[in-house]
Structure 1
Amino acid sequence: MTDEETIARERIERLQSMAREAVRERRDERAREYVRRARRIAERHRLRLPRDFSHSICRSCDTFLVPGNNARVRTQSGHVVVTCDCGEQARYPYA
């Protein structure tokens, strides 16, 4: 892993924590901007977003999802179904 990749991963992690904090403060638009920046950094450096981060964002509207606040989480036949307020659903398997 190069120094650039390390720096990019650190920036993505920092943006994730900033997005989480912005949602707690009810600053949804700011959180959305942090998510967009993290995605751009990952694309630019050909990195994947960390799994906990990618499972916490809506692919449709770039919202940072917080269950009970702006997302609904349900289990359904071996999958976790996360539904954003915009109506987008994401399904993740669980063992």
Structure 2
Amino acid sequence: MAHRDDIDSNKQASSSGILRCEVTREGYAHNLSPAFSGKYLLAECTQTQKYQPDSSSKEAWLKDINIFVPVAHQVNDKPESQVTLENISVIR
């Protein structure tokens, strides 16, 4: 989210935040949802941004279909919230 102070005269938003991600493990995608096949890489990311609370997230990179799927999210010191994946279907 951009704030008014971060938008220049050309209506371009500047990012004053930092996003750092690290791949922490590999797993089988069907453990995330039976609809997924192959393997995934788990990326754990932390984001700091001006005027926003710090946050962290876990995203699974599904190798077979080349997409990120959210796994968990946390804002500030609040408990981590797991993402529930429901009614998933993959059309190839």
**TM-score w.r.t. length of structure 2:** 0.31
Q: Which of the pair has more CA radius of gyration?
A: 2
Structure in which a larger fraction of residues adopt helix: 1
**TM-score w.r.t. length of structure 1:** 0.30
